[in-house]
Structure 1
Amino acid sequence: MTFDQNAFLIILTASLIAISCGLLGVFMMLRKMSMTGDAISHAVLPGIVIGFFVSGSQRGLEVIIGAGILGIIATLVIDWLRQKARVQLDASIGITFTLLFAIGIILINLLAYKVDLDQECVLYGEIAYLPIDLWISDSGFNFGPRITYLAVLNVTLVVAFITLLFKELSLTSFDENFSTVIGLPTKGINLALMSMVSYTTVSSFEAVGAILVVALLVVPPATAFLWTKKLMPLIQLTSALGIFIAITGYYCAYLVDSSIAGMMVAVSGVLFLGTVIIKGKKSNFTFELPWKKSRLALEDKTL
């Protein structure tokens, strides 16, 4: 079998994106905020439209910055509705993303009706185009696929972020009220996590599409959670499942000549359903802090 460079680059990039999304998804799942990623994927549309008009390009840095700012605004609105207005989390997510998404569509209809910019082209990507989306310098040197470099940057930032704030993220995910009592800046940590989720999801949309990003943010952590109840193994297994989904999804799509991103989502769904059938029943979540030997049981807090 000859080495297929394009296949390798697609699988590598998808694996890196799966790892970065999955690592953040673990802490989102523990906070019962997994679907915030889906809300962000719709809420950033106004920021994308504004960034497009500033830069004149769908791939400009201004587009990512605009989308990232809207993602942070969306998370702040969700948190405000949940904390101050006493709205349930699922309702606050639904209200926020539908409102901002509608504003984005209105902006497109009012300002971009003569431009090739719509909600589909700015929210959905195709990883199969990665080998032809190259980073070429002014001198003509070809550095390779642009999205691959972005995926490397994303996973580096996510790993560094989790490493630096690991204890804080763990404690605030375990018990936010207790973290506040012992003096941790819980609101700042939540904002930092939401900001990283916003950046990672938005920057990955163009490569693999919003649907696959949301799936990688939710399904691998949920699947890993059925196999282990310890934090560090949960993180490691989530990363491994993300890589498995990327590899299996690509070759299944190749065999049936189908969408690569769609097949990866399908593989993740089949993997989760298979795990549910094998494991069968839910158990209470035991949260083990890796720097202590004791295990803290979260009674009546199953996910």
Structure 2
Amino acid sequence: MDDRSAFLRATWANVVGNVLKIVVEGVVGVTFGSLALVADAAHSLADLLASLIVLVWGRLSFEGPDRSHPHGHERIEPLTALFVGATLVVLGARILYDAGLSVLHAPDVVFDPLLVAGLAFGVLDMVLVYRYTTLLNETLESPALDALAADCLNDVYTSLAAVVGVFGAAIGEPMLDPIAGALVSVLVIREGVAISRENIDYLVGRAPPEEELDAIRDAVRSHEEVAGIHDFTAHYVGTEIEVEFHAEVADEHTLREAHDLETELRERVMALPDVGDVHIHLDPAGMGEWKDAPEN
């Protein structure tokens, strides 16, 4: 199975899984007046929308460069994941508002064993989709699929939180149902904020973590022909790291030798995880740049 096929299969699994969860929990929740179940189904409605967006937009990341996008489509995936996060925040806020209204007014929820069955189905459904998505994403390392998988796991937690509301209806304490709905909404908002923050960093060109920067510098400095480096920069372009630096080398190299050295350095850096492109400038000794630029 190629990467594109694996990506599409994982995304379709999320679409189908969320449709099933929405139908089952939505019908049961509305039938018996459970805000906790309706909130959980509404969460999955946002997940469904996000899954569809990932399906349409996310697969563009597998397209190569073209005239309109000479560097490819790497930024599509974090943009898609950001949409997932923002959708969760908005929906979570709406659920929290509805839960607050229900607390102020007497909730009208009737216990029925189908409430338990609906929740159990929702948990099992999301566990299976989560495991399938993470399995396929082990080699893809797609942030969009990471976002969907994280949301599947979050769905499991929100469904478990909804158990509080069903339990309240069972013991004659209906007020626990909107409280459970509010708890679900807080979990939804929290996950949406986390996903959004991570992918905003990708989109604005944040520098990679310091340990990754050190690994890139070490790969360059370890070459026996390199005396040092300066003007070093590295930042995210989408989910890939773009690297640029000046390498300080001896001045006796021929043009062909300098070309081969530059190729060796590029291959070393490109072999590191997440590096997508490398720009190298060779600075020969005696040109004054070594002493004027600090090592970095």
Answer yes or no: same fold by TM over 0.5.
no
Q: Identify which of structures 1 and 2 has the higher relative contact order when contacts are C-alpha pairs closer than 8 Å and 6+ apart.
A: 1
Could you say which structure has the larger radius of gyration? 2
User: Which TM-score applies when normalising by structure 1?
Assistant: 0.29
* Structure whose residues are more often helix by fraction: 1
* Structure whose residues are more often strand by fraction: 2
